């Protein structure tokens, strides 16, 4: 051993070091943690399971067609697979200025063009509108057109006095959300037309009283968010109570029972565990 | 509430930095080996008491990293032949290469989705092992540089194998063991369950498990950041509650904020350690505050429509705590995420980018943060020396031509990798195809990817599609050079410092423990980074934020 050149000795020591440290940190350590965790925190170490799934992992409460089951509280939107899929967790990763849709173009060159692509803004607007309809309140939000797409104009030319304005997320023959922009008549969007050269102008509109809470219209980071905000739960209470023929107060009490506050009063935010709330409803 | 959250973290770190820093000082300066260590050195066939010159130290470190790389690559390629593979196929070659480099370099950039690619064996005995040892390597390099300042007239710097083993066994393992159990108590899973279908309330749903807690804790403690699952620390099985979120941020910051104390003790002047700590603290607090302000303001079209910057964030963490995690993970070299930076507001997202561009020195990765900050201190005394026309010195060691050349080369590595890499990607079909978002935000995605890889962070503006051969190779090279070139320069610098005998302090010596020096280092850090990266930031997040 001592007679080998030093660089070979170094690599031999390296091979042994990788093996030994793998045994220590990659076998003994995790197995020891597993042993203690299984013995002391058995329920938690195995995923905090109820007989209808883990209480930590969100689920979608929809029927086979993907429509909300009305007697259940609904979770947040999810970008994990078809929604709440533990084997393909994901966030949307769409940016804060993602406001331009690709309109579905029946004459498009490929499937992607035929299907089009909704911007994050339009997704938010569409969800808000659908939830508003489901809960019987207004789904209106700032920067959203009444038909549930992002209220965004492309103005031409990009710099200078406008000569043309297009509501790019509203496919013809839709009625544009505003009739004119700085004296120019607003057109509806034509699928397949390239509006990239224009200036992007999102239009806030005059909505001030937003009824659908923020968490209801956004996909979570995990794609498995088990919670909704207290506000979103309260919004759903009337509908769930009506479907179940229960007094709203009883449902509101269950919401309170399944609300987790901030840890130690300052860590995180309060949330309502949707699965546990729905299980509690079924039990009554 | 978000401000109390930050204040409580600061308080916890103030309480822990002293005992932990002192403990690490004893670990790295003790002459005794314990029974387990003696046994390990026998197995390794190394002479634990022989000291190494810098070049030998560097070669041992590189040999260890090369072997780690090969083993980790092999484990992934052969996982279907081994046990606990959960039936997954071998990892494709370009992803296996990228992942092996990523974990060996303490980056933990992930071009794969954990729950559908990696079996439990690869996670537990491959990836998690590198979480430990790559962190121990980082600490070893930092300690070696400190020895360069502390020692006089010698050409030896310690023994790599001893530093590696002690860092792993005496520092990381005990904290990880306790921390893992705390996390399990919070709801993280620790089992060997694989993917299967279970009954949900309205239909069948997928479920999976894994030895998550034991990996989660070292992923944060070692500032690694590679998630067991695709959505990383946003996943409820990796981060179950508001308080596990607090604890994970605490673990990320624990060692980096304690190392300056170790440094101060080793050079025999604790106040020098506190000066470095102050620089880190000032920059970190400033950055955490700004990230919170930008995210809470929610200033961009979509967050305005939503009413809060809640896209990509989970309810149990909320906007403020998510922003704090995002800042902590990029100020260190962690790159774990509990919310998705791609969906942050333009300026909030820019903060995460800017944090990484600072070179991850406030407080930086375990070890890497300290040596990065010491390099900046060296550059600062050099700049100050130029201003008054004196030979610069730091801690009694002259910063001559050789020293400042090494420090400059250290500093130049990452900007070159980031800017050249981004430019190549923007001028290349394969590079452009990966953008999810268009316009300035798409550019930010690419810039973020190269910044993250070259700084060994590993977080992503996740929209970018990185599991293509072009990106796997390009980012793999960035990670490799971004990690090991600076390490070699640091070790060389340590070697040349250790040889010097200290010059006595005179009236002309710049005191390096006063607020004046702290202010200068902060200034030099921010000016250097701003000059280097402002043009790139202007094309990405600044353009996006100002146009909206």
**What HEC string does B222-238 produce?**
CCCCCCCCCCHHHCCCC
Q: Which of residues 381-440 of B touch A (CB under 8 A)?
A: 436-440
- Strand ranges inside B316-454, DSSP E: 393-394, 397-398
Q: Would you tell me how many other CB atoms lie within 10 Å of the CB of residue B204? A: 10
Count of CB pairs separated by less than 8 Å, A with B? 373
Q: Are B208 and A81 in contact (CB under 8 A)?
A: no
The pLDDT tens digits for B35-75 are: 999 999 999 999 999 999 999 999 999 999 999 999 999 99
Query: What are the two backbone dihedrals, phi and then psi, of residue B133, each rounded to the nearest 5 degrees?
Result: -75, -30
Interatomic CA distance for residues B51 and B512, integer angstroms:
30
Q: Which of B451, B230, B486 lies closest to B351, judged by CA? A: B451
pLDDT higher than 80, residue A1: no
User: Cβ contact (<8 Å) for A45 and B437?
Assistant: no
Interatomic CA distance for residues B401 and A133, integer angstroms:
72
Q: Which of residues 220-249 of A touch B (CB under 8 A)?
A: 220-229
Q: Are B72 and B127 in contact (CB under 8 A)?
A: yes
**Mean pLDDT computed over every residue of chain B:** 95
Q: Which of B143, B150, B28, B146 lies closest to B500, judged by CA? A: B150
In this prediction the ipTM stands at 0.95
Alpha carbon of A25 to those of A22, A183, B76, B126, B397: distances in Å? 5, 70, 18, 10, 38
Q: Which of B410, B492, B489, B491 lies closest to B454, judged by CA? A: B410
Which residues of chain B make contact with A177, given a CB cutoff of 8 A?
none
Residue extents of the structural domains in chain A:
6-45, 49-64+219-283, 111-202
Identity of the residue in B191, B235, B307 whose CB atom sits nearest the CB atom of A214: B307
**pLDDT the model gives residue A110:** 87
Q: Please tell me the pTM assigned to this model.
A: 0.96
- Coil/strand/helix, residue B10: helix
Q: How many CA atoms lie within 13 A of A270 on its CB side?
A: 12
Which residues of chain B make contact with A25, given a CB cutoff of 8 A?
128-129, 132-133, 168, 173, 218
Q: How many CA atoms lie within 13 A of B208 on its CB side?
A: 25
Asked if A90 has any chain B CB less than 8 Å from its own CB, the reply is yes
Q: Nearest-CA residue of chain A relative to B463?
A: A93
User: Cβ contact (<8 Å) for A87 and B213?
Assistant: no
- Coil/strand/helix, residue B156: strand
Identity of the residue in B192, B206, B444 whose CB atom sits nearest the CB atom of A85: B206
Q: How many CA atoms lie within 13 A of B63 on its CB side?
A: 21
Q: Which of residues 149-208 of B touch A (CB under 8 A)?
A: 161, 164-165, 168-169, 173, 176-177, 180-181, 184-193, 195, 198-203, 205-208
B388 exposure class (CB count in 10 Å sphere: 0-12, 13-18, 19+): exposed
| Residue stretches of chain B with pLDDT short of 70 | 462, 548
The pLDDT tens digits for A10-55 are: 899 999 999 999 999 999 999 999 999 999 999 999 999 999 999 9
Joined tokens for residue B199: 């009954």
User: Cβ contact (<8 Å) for B213 and A33?
Assistant: yes
The pLDDT tens digits for A78-135 are: 999 999 999 999 999 999 999 999 999 998 888 888 899 999 999 999 999 999 999 9
Joined tokens for residue A162: 């406008």
**Mean pLDDT computed over every residue of chain A:** 95
- Rg of chain B on CA atoms, in Å: 22
Which residues of chain B make contact with A63, given a CB cutoff of 8 A?
202
How close does chain A come to B541, measured CA to CA in Å? 11
Q: How far is CA B21 from the centre of its chain?
A: 19
Identity of the residue in B180, B246, B345 whose CB atom sits nearest the CB atom of A33: B180
**pLDDT the model gives residue B548:** 64
Interatomic CA distance for residues B308 and B306, integer angstroms:
6
**pLDDT the model gives residue B391:** 83
**pLDDT the model gives residue A2:** 58
* Mean pLDDT of the A250-259 span: 97
Interatomic CA distance for residues B55 and B322, integer angstroms:
43
User: Cβ contact (<8 Å) for A120 and B71?
Assistant: no
Identity of the residue in A10, A69, A87 whose CB atom sits nearest the CB atom of B60: A10
Interatomic CA distance for residues A74 and A71, integer angstroms:
9
Which residues of chain B make contact with A10, given a CB cutoff of 8 A?
56, 59-60, 63
User: Cβ contact (<8 Å) for B316 and A30?
Assistant: no
Q: How far is CA A225 from the centre of its chain?
A: 9
pLDDT higher than 90, residue A284: no
The pLDDT tens digits for A208-228 are: 999 999 999 999 999 999 999
User: Cβ contact (<8 Å) for B202 and A16?
Assistant: no
A105 exposure class (CB count in 10 Å sphere: 0-12, 13-18, 19+): middle
How close does chain A come to B382, measured CA to CA in Å? 36
Identity of the residue in B176, B311, B316 whose CB atom sits nearest the CB atom of A120: B311
Asked if B226 has any chain A CB less than 8 Å from its own CB, the reply is no
């Amino acid at each position: 051993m001592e007679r080998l050149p030093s660089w070979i000795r170094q690599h031999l020591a390296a091979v042994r070091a990788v093996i030994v440290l793998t045994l220590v940190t990659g076998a003994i350590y995790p197995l020891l943690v597993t042993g203690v965790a299984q013995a002391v925190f058995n329920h938690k170490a195995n995923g905090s399971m109820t007989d209808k799934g883990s209480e930590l992992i969100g689920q979608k409460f929809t029927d086979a067609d993907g429509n909300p089951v009305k007697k259940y509280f609904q979770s947040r939107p999810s970008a994990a697979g078809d929604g709440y899929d533990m084997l393909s967790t994901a966030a949307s990763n769409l940016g804060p200025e993602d406001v331009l849709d690709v309109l579905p173009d029946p004459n498009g060159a490929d499937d992607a063009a035929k299907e089009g692509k909704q911007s994050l803004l339009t997704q938010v607007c569409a969800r808000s509108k659908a939830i508003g309809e489901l809960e019987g309140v207004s789904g209106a939000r700032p920067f959203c057109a009444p038909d549930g797409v992002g209220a965004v104009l492309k103005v031409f030319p990009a710099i200078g006095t406008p000569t043309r304005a297009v509501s790019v997320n509203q496919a013809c023959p839709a009625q544009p959300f505003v009739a004119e922009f700085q004296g120019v008549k607003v057109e509806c969007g034509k699928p397949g037309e390239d509006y990239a050269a224009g200036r992007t102008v999102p239009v806030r509109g005059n909505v001030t009283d937003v009824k659908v809470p923020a968490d209801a219209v956004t996909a979570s980071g995990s794609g498995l968010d088990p919670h909704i905000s207290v506000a979103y739960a309260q919004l759903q209470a009337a509908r769930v109570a009506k479907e179940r023929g229960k007094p709203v107060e009883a449902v509101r009490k269950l919401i309170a029972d399944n609300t987790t506050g901030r840890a130690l009063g300052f860590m995180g935010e309060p949330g309502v565990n949707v699965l546990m709330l729905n299980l509690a409803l079924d039990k009554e | 509430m978000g401000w109390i959250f930050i204040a409580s973290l600061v308080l916890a770190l103030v309480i822990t930095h002293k005992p932990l820093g002192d403990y690490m000082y004893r670990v790295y300066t003790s002459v005794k080996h314990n029974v387990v260590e003696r046994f390990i050195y026998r197995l390794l066939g190394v002479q634990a008491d022989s000291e190494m010159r810098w070049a030998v130290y560097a070669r041992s470190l590189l040999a260890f990293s090369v072997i780690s790389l090969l083993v980790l690559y092999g484990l992934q390629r052969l996982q279907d032949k081994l046990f606990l593979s959960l039936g997954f196929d071998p990892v494709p070659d370009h992803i296996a290469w990228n992942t092996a480099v990523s974990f060996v370099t303490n980056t933990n950039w992930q071009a794969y989705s954990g729950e559908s690619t990696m079996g439990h064996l690869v996670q537990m005995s491959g990836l998690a092992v590198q979480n430990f040892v790559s962190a121990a390597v980082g600490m070893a390099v930092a300690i070696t540089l400190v020895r360069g300042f502390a020692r006089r007239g010698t050409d030896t710097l310690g023994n790599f194998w001893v530093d590696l083993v002690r860092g792993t066994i005496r520092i990381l393992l005990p904290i990880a063991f306790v921390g893992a159990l705390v996390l399990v108590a919070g709801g993280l899973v620790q089992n060997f369950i694989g993917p299967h279908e279970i009954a949900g309330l309205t239909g069948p749903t997928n479920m999976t498990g894994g030895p998550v807690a034991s990996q989660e804790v070292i992923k944060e403690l070692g500032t690694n950041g590679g998630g067991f699952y695709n959505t990383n620390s946003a996943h409820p099985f990796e981060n179950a509650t508001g308080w596990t979120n607090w604890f994970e941020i605490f673990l990320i910051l624990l060692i980096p904020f304690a190392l300056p104390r170790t440094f101060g003790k080793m050079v025999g002047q604790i106040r020098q350690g506190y000066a470095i700590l102050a620089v880190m603290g000032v920059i970190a607090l400033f950055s955490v505050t700004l990230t919170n302000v930008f995210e809470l303001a929610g200033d961009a079209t979509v967050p305005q429509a939503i009413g809060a910057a809640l896209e990509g964030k989970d309810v149990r963490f909320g906007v403020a705590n998510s922003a704090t995690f995002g800042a902590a993970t990029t100020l260190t070299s962690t790159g774990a995420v509990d919310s998705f930076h791609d969906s942050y507001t333009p300026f909030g997202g820019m903060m995460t980018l800017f944090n990484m561009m600072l070179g991850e020195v406030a407080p930086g990765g375990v070890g890497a943060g300290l040596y990065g900050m010491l390099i900046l201190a060296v550059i600062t005394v050099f700049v100050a020396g130029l201003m008054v026309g004196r030979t610069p010195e730091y801690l009694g060691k002259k910063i001559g031509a050789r020293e400042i050349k090494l420090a400059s080369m250290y500093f130049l590595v990452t900007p070159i990798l980031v800017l050249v890499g981004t430019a190549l990607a923007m001028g290349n079909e394969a590079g452009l195809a990966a953008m999810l978002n268009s316009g300035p935000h798409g550019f930010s995605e690419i810039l973020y990817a190269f910044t993250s890889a070259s700084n060994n962070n590993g977080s992503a503006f996740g929209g970018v599609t990185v599991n293509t051969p072009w990106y796997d190779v390009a980012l793999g090279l960035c990670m490799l050079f971004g990690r090991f070139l600076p390490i070699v320069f640091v070790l060389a610098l340590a070697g040349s410092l250790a040889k010097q005998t200290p010059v006595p302090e005179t009236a002309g010596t710049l005191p390096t423990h006063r607020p004046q020096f702290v202010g200068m280092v902060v200034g030099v850090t921010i000016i250097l980074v701003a000059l280097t990266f402002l043009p790139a930031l202007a094309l990405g997040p600044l353009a996006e934020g100002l146009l909206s």
